[in-house]
Structure 1
Amino acid sequence: MITSSNQLKAKVRNISKGSNDVARAYIRIFFMERFLERVSHSEYKDQFILKGGMLAASLLGIDMRSTMDIDTTVKALSLTVDDISTDDEITPRAIEYDYRLMFEERTIMLFSYNVETLLAEKLQTVLARNVANTRMRDFFDIYSIYSVSCA
């Protein structure tokens, strides 16, 4: 368990092999994981359903897919901000997911989309954007998630 900023910096320095961009990505993911861990222990743990890039990164392995944010669906909470997905239909339902932490040999339990719903949402994004889709990561996610989970 990382208990100090010096431990975190040393670990990141070791695995990033001198690349500042890689180091920043690992630090960002570390802090996003700390947020997810706090959610997993909070009274709101049943209302946050992990989806999107962070779930894809966890399924694929941190070295294969980096992400900039945490995508979630929030259920049974009143929110009005347009950028927040609330009470979207999750077919067939959210699943319990053991999210493996990047720097520690343990997992935290979160609710998440199942693989099929994650793939369906990625496909819907590609189809909705049609020829205007320049997000190669959507195509990468579809191919990689399908390859890892359906092979």
Structure 2
Amino acid sequence: MTRQHRPNIAASVRQRLLDQARSKRIDFNLLLTRYGLERFLYRLGCSEYRERFILKGAMLFPLWGVVSYRSTRDVDLLGYGESELAALVEVFRRISRTEVADDGVIFDPASVQAEDIRDQMEYAGTRIKLNADLAGARIHLQVDIGFGDVVTPAAATADYPTVLDQPAPHIRVYPRETVVAEKFQAMVHLGIANSRMKDFHDLWVLGSQFDFDGATLTAALVRTFERRNTPLPNTVPLALTPEFFLDDRKIRQWKAFLNRAGLEIKPELSEVAAFIAGFVMPLIDSGSHRGAPDGAWWQAGGPWQAGLAPTRHALI
């Protein structure tokens, strides 16, 4: 373990998490994992490796103020530098040893393990597993790291929201534009084989709740497709057509995802696909030089409009 913590602090933190789980009627183990991931990100932000990793994935949504969102039990990062397993194990052991103000969590550097992963997208990555302890409660953490992707616009640095009143992780984070670009590229690439229902949900949430500048999002789409060696589609991709969203198997996968994620709002897959097509395809046309409005901007919920966004719709 990294170092000894005062038992009263760890016990107090554990009790506060338990109280919060009860009051909000959420799973305590899920909240415990969220706290463990958060405190690991805090150590990352305090370490010499803070510039080497950028937060991506589902943990971005609480940062962006999305209150009701699918839960996650792991963290996704874009990594730079050495990607060999042994080197990453040593990096994560050092991060877990980072000295910080006592937050009750004791990370176990000896527990750090790394393995190669290859998801449905066929892109290589690394999965890190490590353990932590909070007043006798064991926390199993997982960090998935990808390499080689391009981030447009440049990653920003942000303070990640905390579960309790602890110092906030100060880390590099993905822009929403690259999240949109990567998820849409996955839809185009996978076609009917796509079982990543979270991507459909996430694009629907992003387009519904946030404003976008057309030029910036177009640049992210073009650069992401180029980096991933995927041609921009000439027509609406299969994943956004009736062949996909009316397929019985896809409907079952969608409903299973919604139930598993415990989401309150459960739109139909066909509704989500139509929304995504209206959100992304006008810019794909632009990126392919087939014509799209200059100076286009997207107010949360759409549709795209020409001209500069009014001040009250300032993009964030």
TM score, norm. by length of structure 1: 0.82
**1-structure distance, mates of 2:209, 2:24:** 28
- Cα 1:13–1:115 change in 2 (3 A) is same
Moved more, 29-38 or 47-56: 47-56
How many pairs does the alignment contain? Answer: 148
Partner residue, 1:147: 208
Structure 1 counterpart of 2:177, one-letter code = E
Find out whether 1:116 has 2:120 as its counterpart.
Answer: no
Partner residue, 2:267: none
Partner residue, 1:90: 151
Find out whether 1:64 has 2:69 as its counterpart.
Answer: yes
Q: Secondary structure, in 3 states, of the residue corresponding to 2:71?
A: coil
Identity of aligned residues (%): 28
- Cα 1:43–1:8 change in 2 (3 A) is same
- Cα 1:52–1:73 change in 2 (3 A) is same
**2-structure distance, mates of 1:68, 1:145:** 21
Tell me how far 1:67 sits from its aligned partner. 1.1
- Cα 1:127–1:56 change in 2 (3 A) is farther
Higher RCO by CA contacts (8 Å cutoff, separation 6 or greater): 1
Q: Is the 8 A contact 2:54 2:79 kept in 1?
A: yes
Higher strand share: 2
**2-structure distance, mates of 1:131, 1:111:** 34
Residue deviations 1:76-95, cap 9 Å, x none? x2113532322422223211
Structure 1 counterpart of 2:69, one-letter code = M
**1-structure distance, mates of 2:9, 2:186:** 40
Tell me how far 1:71 sits from its aligned partner. 0.8
* Structure 1 segments (4+ residues) deviating >6 Å: 18-21
Q: Secondary structure, in 3 states, of the residue corresponding to 1:71?
A: strand
Q: Secondary structure, in 3 states, of the residue corresponding to 1:79?
A: coil
Tell me how far 1:4 sits from its aligned partner. 2.8
- Cα 1:83–1:135 change in 2 (3 A) is same
TM score, norm. by length of structure 2: 0.42
Tell me how far 1:107 sits from its aligned partner. 3.1
Give the alignment partner of residue 78 of structure 1, picking from 78, 82, 94: 82
Tell me how far 1:57 sits from its aligned partner. 3.9
Residue deviations 1:90-142, cap 9 Å, x none? 22321112211122265332111111111111222233332233333222211
Higher helix share: 1
- Cα 1:87–1:129 change in 2 (3 A) is closer
Give the alignment partner of residue 51 of structure 1, picking from 47, 56, 61: 56
Gaps of 5+ in 1: none
Residue deviations 1:27-73, cap 9 Å, x none? 11100011100000000101111111111343244642211211111
Map 1:30-41; keep pairs closer than 5 Å.
30-41=35-46
Structure 2 counterpart of 1:113, one-letter code = Y
Q: Secondary structure, in 3 states, of the residue corresponding to 1:125?
A: helix
Partner residue, 1:130: 191
Find out whether 1:22 has 2:27 as its counterpart.
Answer: yes
Q: Secondary structure, in 3 states, of the residue corresponding to 1:72?
A: strand
Q: Is the 8 A contact 1:56 1:65 kept in 2?
A: no
Gaps of 5+ in 2: 1-7, 85-115, 117-123, 127-145, 212-299, 301-316
Q: Is the 8 A contact 1:49 1:110 kept in 2?
A: yes
- Cα 1:18–1:113 change in 2 (3 A) is closer
**2-structure distance, mates of 1:119, 1:29:** 24
Q: Is the 8 A contact 1:60 1:148 kept in 2?
A: no
Q: Is the 8 A contact 1:100 1:106 kept in 2?
A: no
Q: Is the 8 A contact 1:13 1:23 kept in 2?
A: yes
